[in-house]
Structure 1
């Protein structure tokens, strides 16, 4: 029995070590996050965006984050399909003429037999707005999810110090990284306490009881957020992060060949999209 448990632990440690070896360097992750923000800033076309999102999703699957990667993949391509359907409705025969634009609909561009066409075109415009608005944020969400779920705090601090980032920026960033998991844990505890007392129980209870959700969830979270941020700041300073001078780190990070290669592969379609070549 003891040998079986030890063997399972060895297998888990070997799998985790293998997965850690396939992860990108924290500096490469920050570079991908920068590319995602540039993608949002320059608002490239759909083809370049789809290529970049596909490249951003690859590290998630390589790192073993299959569930997160599949969810983000399904969400993005569902939004992409919704946007293509919206373009087909509003730009082709269904949405042509005065009924094909929002201004024409507001001015009553079609009447009588065209009511169905107007309704479909309106639905297409609304779907297009939602699709584009959420889809533009997807690269940042994907790269952010990969960076924060596969990077430990020690790796992040070591990467920031390797880049000669001032301690006045490193400490707040570390506090922010630890803040959101702590708030998520507090949220789960509040939901468990509410379910134990029979308050807003169920999966869709928050939607069915918005007033109770505001009173029993948001208010305690906001009150607790102040204490959490203060405690995390004190914990960071207690560990000596605010002491002047050179700091050492037990975590070893280094840029490997596939880090540089993947950064270059992601940069090329980004540059081609911005330049209008792709």
Structure 2
């Protein structure tokens, strides 16, 4: 209350943070480094190390359940990959290795994107992008996506509840037993809800002045601190180590 009465809105925003808070610009840099690190990873061990680093970031940001589940799932995939490379041969081995190779390249990026989307508010993102004078087309598109994904997640829970009322299981087994009914119960309401949510988000964004050319204000103080520089430094160092190891392996 004292922060509101004194007009110190930045203090009010800072007290509402839970866990480690990173600047949205830092998160975009981490995503870029994650993509490059996944692309140039010299071995499966480096991919697993990258996933562990992302999990540590998620735990520090307060997403420890998400991080633990993601690491456990990826560990199972790594064990499966090693087993396939040691046991299978011929065309079947090549097919699985190609699929799992793509999965390993994408998994770390998707894991980090989930942490970024769940810990970044639209107002913080817009304020940070205005600081670097990012193009409006990019800012508005990304801001709508940040708000759109949680809405789709809520709609998916409603769809699953409605499917259970009709004795249709929203799982792989239900799809195999009743494919037509499952597709109808999932895609039709999901597309209708998505269309409605897109219209509502567009109207709400325009009403809140998303196209206003003036400078934006935010309750949270947007600036890069020690945690931001440490995270960017670790990400850049890990990428450089990968490049050095990859160059040594090629040489």
Query: In 2, distance between residues paired with 1:209 and 1:221?
Result: 18
What residue number does 1:38 align with?
A: 36
Query: In 2, distance between residues paired with 1:232 and 1:170?
Result: 15
Q: 1:82 to 1:17 in 2, by over 3 A?
A: farther
What residue number does 2:238 align with?
A: 269
Matching of residue 200 in structure 1 with residue 158 in structure 2: no
Contact 2:129 2:139 in 1 (8 A): yes
What residue number does 1:80 align with?
A: 78
Tell me by how many angstroms 1:236 deviates. Answer: 0.4
- Secondary structure class of the residue paired with 1:137: helix
| The one of 114, 131, 149 aligned to 2:100 | 131
Tell me by how many angstroms 1:82 deviates. Answer: 1.7
Q: 1:206 to 1:163 in 2, by over 3 A?
A: farther
Rg bigger for which structure?
1
| The one of 150, 154, 160 aligned to 1:185 | 154
Name the TM-score, length of structure 2 as normaliser.
0.82
Matching of residue 251 in structure 1 with residue 220 in structure 2: yes
**Structure 2 alignment gaps of length 5 or more:** 1-13
Tell me by how many angstroms 1:233 deviates. Answer: 1.1
| The one of 260, 269, 272 aligned to 2:229 | 260
Which gives a bigger RCO, structure 1 or 2 (Cα 8 Å, sep 6+)?
Answer: 2
Q: 1:255 to 1:261 in 2, by over 3 A?
A: same
What residue number does 2:194 align with?
A: 225
Once the two structures are superposed, residues 149-183 of structure 1 have per-residue CA deviations (whole angstroms, 9 ceiling, x without a partner) of 11122222222222211222211211111112112
- Secondary structure class of the residue paired with 1:22: coil
**Structure 1 alignment gaps of length 5 or more:** 1-15, 91-99, 103-121
Once the two structures are superposed, residues 73-106 of structure 1 have per-residue CA deviations (whole angstroms, 9 ceiling, x without a partner) of 011111112222223235xxxxxxxxx433xxxx
Contact 2:20 2:62 in 1 (8 A): no
- Count of residue pairs brought into register by the alignment: 233
- Secondary structure class of the residue paired with 1:20: coil
What residue number does 1:59 align with?
A: 57
Root-mean-square deviation (CA, aligned residues, Å) is: 2.4
- Secondary structure class of the residue paired with 2:18: helix
What residue number does 2:209 align with?
A: 240
Query: In 2, distance between residues paired with 1:82 and 1:220?
Result: 36
